[in-house]
């Protein structure tokens, strides 16, 4: 463990994540507003699998994107979406067509792009298939959330389950919002990526919650630290682990984005990797800045935790009083000290029997 990690774990160095939770809430709220606004205004760029249509893949095409788009739109009379990878492969997406139209489009694209029509891979997908995927994904998500809620409520408590689900929803909305904001295409691979980050986000949150549970076991039987302070220590103790785990997990995902999608032109890999990258980053953030602070917000509403906070405050106030009294005594001694540092004492009065007679 590094020196920084050791200091965080021992409490020698501490970041006040819990005390500044209102700041994290404001930051997350702003991000969520942007994500939701992007969803409402721009919407998602659904792939052909969800909205239906035809796709023509042209390997080693010599034409430009503009030429391929113009040819496809001329053949169909409707708008076409054309993308080109680094390897020179062009993908043309159009609205749903019949077999005769599909053959005519392939012939036109082959002539424009200088390749044989037999080299063009075409497929026609109806919207029903995409609707089935969406329905199955939603069913899987609901079942997953129910099982996770039951497990967290049994292993931890219901408040931790609620906090974990809030963080999970936070991650999903941000990830989907990024897709809406950037216009990235949503494909079945994207759905797989979204379902995958559910597990990763919960894993990181459970690691932090397990440490919180350890630090707060029997906490109401003492008056040294509050629940929020013990929870903040748990976040600091797991901070380096969360960061290191995220970096290690993100490295291969970034490699997929750069090499697989950028150099090899595998679009499916890009759809999957972007969802994973955004979800992992959001999951690490939420486990530190959202899940545990929200848990503390729920816990501090309990009467026993409010009583604990009052006891800790009273103990600390009482501990500070001797220091104040000692400071006052020191000031009095300093006031009676002479220029040489000796303490001036008032003269002692002689007994009445030893006083000289006035007669």
Report the alpha-carbon distance of residue 272 to residue 165 in Å, rounded: 23
pLDDT of 353 higher than 70:
no
The per-residue pLDDT for range 310-338, each reduced to its tens digit, is 999 898 888 877 654 455 445 544 555 45
Contacting residues for 230 by C-beta, under 8 A, at least 6 apart: 212, 215, 216, 219
- Identify whether residues 259 and 295 lie together within a single domain: yes
Look at residue 327 and tell me if it is in a domain: no
Residue of 174, 231, 226 whose CA lies nearest to 14: 231
Last residue of a domain, one of 125, 147, 168: 125
117 and 236 assigned to the same domain: no
Contact by Cβ (8 Å): 209, 156: yes
Residue at 2 is within a domain: no
In a domain, 299, yes or no: yes
Domain boundary among 94, 125, 156: 125
299 Cβ contact partners less than 8 Å away, ≥ 6 residues apart: 159, 227, 231, 305
Residues 284 and 161 in one domain: yes
Cβ(122)–Cβ(133) under 8 Å? Answer: no
Residue 317 is assigned to a structural domain of this protein? no
pLDDT band, very low/low/confident/very high, at 11 (cuts 50, 70, 90): low
pLDDT of residue 296: 94
pLDDT at 322: 60
Residue 99's Cβ-count burial label (10 Å; 0-12, 13-18, 19+) is exposed
Q: What is the DSSP string of 134-170?
A: HHHHHHHHHHHHHHHHHHHHHHT-HHHHHHHHHHHHH
Q: Which domain holds residue 84?
A: 53-125
Answer whether 194's CB lies under 8 Å from 175's CB: yes
CATH number at residue 66: 3.30.70.3400
Share of the chain above pLDDT 70, in %: 81
The tally of CA atoms less than 13 A away on the side-chain side of residue 147 is 9
CATH of residue 156: 1.20.1640.10
Same domain, 161 and 144: yes
How many domains does the chain contain in total?
Answer: 2
Same domain, 296 and 187: yes
pLDDT class for 89, splitting at 50, 70, 90?
Answer: confident
Domain endpoint, select from 90, 105, 125: 125
The DSSP string of 257-305 is IIIIIIIS--HHHHHHHHHHHHHHHHHHHHIIIIIHHHHHHHHTTSHHH
92 - beta bridge partners? 56, 82
Q: Does 160 score more than 90 pLDDT?
A: yes
Q: What is the mean pLDDT of residues 84-88?
A: 69
Question: Is residue 296 in some structural domain?
Answer: yes
40, 60: one domain = no
Average pLDDT over residues 17-23: 92
Q: In what order do the strands lie in the sheet with 53-58?
A: 81-84, 90-94, 53-58, 121-125
Q: Say if strands 45-46 and 185-186 run parallel, antiparallel, or are unpaired.
A: parallel
State mean pLDDT over 249-268: 69
Check whether residue 207 and residue 62 sit in a common domain: no
Are 94 and 176 members of one domain? no
Q: Quick one: pLDDT at residue 293?
A: 94
Least confident of 82-86, 271-275, 306-310, 331-335: 331-335
Q: Examine the domain organization and report whether 77 and 34 are in the same domain.
A: no
Q: Is residue 245 part of a domain?
A: yes
Determine, yes or no, domain membership for 96.
yes
User: Residues 119, 153: one domain?
Assistant: no
Average pLDDT over residues 16-36: 93
Give the H/E segment covering residue 309. Answer: helix 303-335
What DSSP state is assigned to residue 119?
G
User: How many Cβ atoms from other residues are within 10 Å of residue 103's Cβ?
Assistant: 13
Pair (144, 255) in one structural domain: yes
Per mean pLDDT, which range of 84-98, 134-148, 324-338 is the poorest? 324-338
Pairwise CA distance, residues 193 & 185, whole Å: 13
| Higher pLDDT, residue 141 or 126 | 141
Q: Return the percent helix, strand and coil in the chain, to nearest 5.
A: 70, 5, 20
Buried b (16+ CB within 10 A) or exposed e, 195-233: bebbebbbebbbbbbebbeebbeebeeebebbbbbbbbb
Q: Kindly state the DSSP code that residue 256 receives in the 8-state scheme.
A: I
Read off the pTM: 0.74
pLDDT of residue 325: 47
As a whole number of Å, the CA-based R_g of the chain is 34
Residue 5 half-sphere exposure toward CB, CA atoms < 13 A: 9
**315 in any annotated domain:** no
**Are 145 and 294 in a shared domain?**
yes
Q: Is 53 helix (H, G, I), strand (E, B) or coil?
A: strand
For residue 62, the SS3 value is: coil
């Amino acid at each position: 463990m590094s020196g920084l990690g050791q200091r965080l774990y021992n409490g020698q160095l501490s970041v006040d994540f819990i005390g500044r939770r209102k700041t994290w809430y404001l930051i997350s709220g702003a991000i969520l507003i942007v994500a939701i606004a992007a969803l409402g205004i721009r919407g998602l760029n659904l792939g052909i699998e969800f909205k239906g249509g035809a796709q023509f893949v042209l390997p080693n095409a010599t034409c430009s994107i503009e030429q391929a788009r113009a040819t496809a739109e001329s053949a169909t009379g409707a708008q076409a979406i054309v993308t080109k990878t680094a390897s020179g492969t062009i993908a043309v997406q159009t609205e749903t067509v019949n077999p005769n139209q599909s053959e005519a489009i392939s012939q036109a694209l082959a002539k424009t792009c200088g390749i044989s029509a037999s080299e063009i891979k075409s497929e026609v997908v109806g919207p029903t298939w995409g609707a089935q995927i969406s329905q199955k994904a939603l069913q899987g998500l609901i079942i997953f959330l129910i099982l996770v809620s039951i497990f967290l409520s049994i292993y931890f408590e219901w408040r931790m389950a609620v906090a974990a689900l809030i963080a999970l929803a936070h991650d999903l909305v941000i990830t989907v919002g990024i897709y809406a904001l950037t216009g990235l295409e949503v494909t079945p691979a994207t759905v797989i990526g979204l379902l995958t980050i559910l597990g990763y986000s919960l894993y990181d949150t459970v690691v932090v919650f397990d440490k919180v549970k350890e630090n707060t076991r029997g906490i109401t039987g003492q008056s040294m630290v509050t629940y929020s302070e013990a929870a903040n220590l748990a976040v600091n103790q797991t901070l380096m682990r969360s960061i290191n785990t995220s970096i290690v997990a993100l490295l291969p995902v970034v490699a997929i984005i750069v090499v697989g999608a950028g150099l090899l032109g595998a679009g499916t890999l890009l759809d999957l990797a972007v969802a994973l990258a955004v979800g992992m980053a959001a999951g690490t953030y939420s486990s530190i800045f959202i899940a545990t602070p929200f848990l503390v917000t729920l816990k501090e509403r309990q009467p026993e935790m409010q009583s604990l906070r009052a006891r800790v405050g009273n103990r600390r106030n009482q501990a500070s009083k001797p220091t104040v009294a000692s400071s006052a005594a020191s000031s009095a001694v300093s006031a009676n000290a002479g220029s040489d540092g000796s303490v001036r004492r008032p003269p002692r009065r002689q007994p009445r029997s030893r006083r000289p007679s006035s007669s």
